[in-house]
Amino acid sequence: MKYKTLAQFPEEFLWGASTSAYQVEGAWDEDGKGPSVIDARESYPEGTTDFKVASDHYHRYKEDIALFAEMGFKAYRFSIAWTRIIPDGGGDINPKGIEFYSRLIDELLKYGIEPIVTMYHFDLPNALQKKGGWSDRATIDAFEKYARILFESYGDRVKYWLTINEQNMMILHGSALGTLDPNLENPKKELYQQNHHMLVAQAKAIKLCHEMLPEAKIGPAPNIALIYPASSKPEDVLAAFNYNAIRNWLYLDMAVFGRYNTTAWAYMKEKDCTPVIAEGDMDILRSAKPDFIAFNYYTSQTAEASRDDGSDTAARGGDQHLQTGEEGVYRGSSNPHLKKNAFGWEIDPVGFRSTLREIYDRYQLPLIITENGLGAFDQLEDGDVVNDDYRIDYLKEHIKQIQLAITDGVDVFGYSPWSAIDLISTHQGCSKRYGFIYVNRDEFDLKDLRRIRKKSFYWYKDLIASNGETLD
Ligand code: BGP
């Protein structure tokens, strides 16, 4: 639909940006922090750094937050490292971990920046992983206990909570993200059992939040991307339908309606990986109601009918945003109408609007975008200049589509792209940068880690100051 005039961004729109603990903080074993599954990894992809120092945000958060305030952030989305709060995941509380995030939250509030807290972003405590991680039902209780501590410690100041970041990507692409336990005997079956446990843990956290903090709001944070059929061929349309169910709606149907998506359930039955559902689980799942949906969007995806000849998954696997496929279900396909970024991810701002509309139509809950952005090999030029015009273009085109979606009637209350500041990519090192602020380090040379405002920093600052009016 083309409009004569576009709706304005709401007055209280939460402009901000995102990070996650293990990708930005560093200080991986300081002040009593326990190891997470990310810290315990035996190796990292060749040529890429580990996460020990990252952007050293743990020590420099004040300087970083001052820069966020300079950009005019209304909100900042960050994650809390479970292993700082409870080093072994289920036992004693680490007071220094509690204090760190308390100081960080106070620092944000000092500038009037709304904290949006992700409770768990890929970094499960390794002590829990050793006991089976999410395959073990006890991890549900550990998460509930952790949630209670977070609500007790920060509930007086934090109004927006996100349960689990990209649970769907952990299930579908855990090996790329470094969250998959390599020792699982029957990975698919175990993963869907883990998925079920995470869904129950999420539901418990949502219920607990509502009981303990009636004023607060809480929601899930999956990665949602609309899947296009590669053509109008009915079999391609059906394949896209399959993949949409498995990748997207399985997660949101459960979070919002407390039921398994029909197609996703049929898929799990066919693949012999339906989870064991304990007595009472469905009641918990049905009774937990999120207040909003947060979602991450980088790219759309395209699917065609499975060829069912053993080639559906071949060669196109890889990371969380590259096309994969599965025999008898769908085959990943590339979209000839879209350009790709330097890492092969397709760039699709219009697909973003369609995704916003589809989520809103299905669930009728307010939406916030908690990730969106462009990874690139930024170059630091003489005079501390970073000309990241490509990032400005990417963000601008996507934000325009949010405005169109708002005009379509979609209730969007915030935009928090990835990432506030340069940090370490999940599996492609620190040379793949996303931030508005450049961090001066290389993969293996920490240099001085100084902070440098990129061109996109000034652009975003102006955009926020005008509440989106400078888009054109
Ligand atoms: C999402 C994750 C983030 C983030 C982002 C960019 O899947 O939630 O943690 O890193 O993708 O991906 P990458 O770091 O792989 O470039």
- 114 C-alpha to center of ligand 1: Å? 22
Q: Is 168 in the pocket of ligand 1 (CB under 6 A)?
A: no
- The reported pLDDT for the residue numbered 320 is 74
Tens-digit pLDDT profile for residues 144-179 = 999 999 999 999 999 999 999 999 999 998 888 888
- 359 C-alpha to center of ligand 1: Å? 21
- The reported pLDDT for the residue numbered 318 is 63
Tens-digit pLDDT profile for residues 27-68 = 999 999 999 999 999 889 899 999 999 999 999 999 999 999
- Check: CB of residue 81 under 8 Å from CB of residue 33: yes
Residue 234 has φ and ψ, to the nearest 5°, of -50, -35
- Check: CB of residue 117 under 8 Å from CB of residue 57: no
Residue type for 15, please? W
Q: Check whether 316 has a pLDDT greater than 60.
A: no
User: What's 223's DSSP letter?
Assistant: B
What is the average pLDDT across 120-142? 97
- 11 catalytically annotated: no
- Check: CB of residue 350 under 8 Å from CB of residue 401: yes
- 346 catalytically annotated: no
Chain-centroid distance, C-alpha 27: 22
Tens-digit pLDDT profile for residues 411-455 = 999 999 999 999 999 999 999 999 999 999 999 999 999 999 999
Query: Using 50, 70 and 90 to split pLDDT, how confident is the model at 182?
Result: confident
- The reported pLDDT for the residue numbered 314 is 62
Burial (CB count within 10 angstroms: exposed 0-12, middle 13-18, buried 19+), residue 425 = buried
Tens-digit pLDDT profile for residues 238-297 = 999 999 999 999 999 999 999 999 999 999 999 999 999 999 999 999 999 999 999 999
The chain-wide mean pLDDT, for the chain, equals: 96
Locus of tokens 């004569």: 4
- 416 C-alpha to center of ligand 1: Å? 13
SS3 333: strand
Tens-digit pLDDT profile for residues 205-243 = 999 999 999 999 999 999 999 999 999 999 999 999 999
* Max CA distance (Å), the chain: 63
Tokens of 10: 């709401």
Give the C-alpha separation, 118 to 146, whole Å.
12
Q: Which whole-number Å values give the CA distances from 224 to 59, 67, 246, 337, 349, in the listed order?
A: 33, 30, 11, 20, 14
pTM: 0.97
Q: Is 320 in the pocket of ligand 1 (CB under 6 A)?
A: yes
Q: Percent of the chain at pLDDT above 90?
A: 90
User: What's 247's DSSP letter?
Assistant: I
- Check: CB of residue 160 under 8 Å from CB of residue 95: no
- The reported pLDDT for the residue numbered 57 is 98
Tokens of 188: 């698919």
- The reported pLDDT for the residue numbered 309 is 86
| Radius of gyration of the chain measured on its C-alpha atoms | 21
Q: Is 432 in the pocket of ligand 1 (CB under 6 A)?
A: yes
Tokens of 138: 């006890």
- 309 C-alpha to center of ligand 1: Å? 32
Tens-digit pLDDT profile for residues 363-413 = 999 999 999 999 999 999 999 999 999 999 999 999 999 999 999 999 999
Contacts for 125 with CB less than 8 Å, ≥ 6 apart: 34, 35, 36, 37, 82, 83, 86, 87, 88, 89, 90, 142
- 235 C-alpha to center of ligand 1: Å? 31
Q: What stretches of 225-280 show up as alpha helix (H) in DSSP?
A: 234-244, 250-257, 262-270
CA distance between the termini of the chain: 19
- Closest-lying ligand 1 atom to the alpha carbon of residue 20: 9
Count other Cβ atoms within 10 Å, centred on residue 271.
16
SS3 331: strand
| From 107, 166, 190, 304, the catalytic residue | 166
- Closest-lying ligand 1 atom to the alpha carbon of residue 320: 7
User: What's 245's DSSP letter?
Assistant: I
Q: Is 401 in the pocket of ligand 1 (CB under 6 A)?
A: no
What is the average pLDDT across 130-141? 97
Most informative mutation of 418, 421, 433 for ligand 1 (most atoms within 8 A of CB): 418
Q: Is 48 in the pocket of ligand 1 (CB under 6 A)?
A: no
Q: Check whether 180 has a pLDDT greater than 90.
A: no
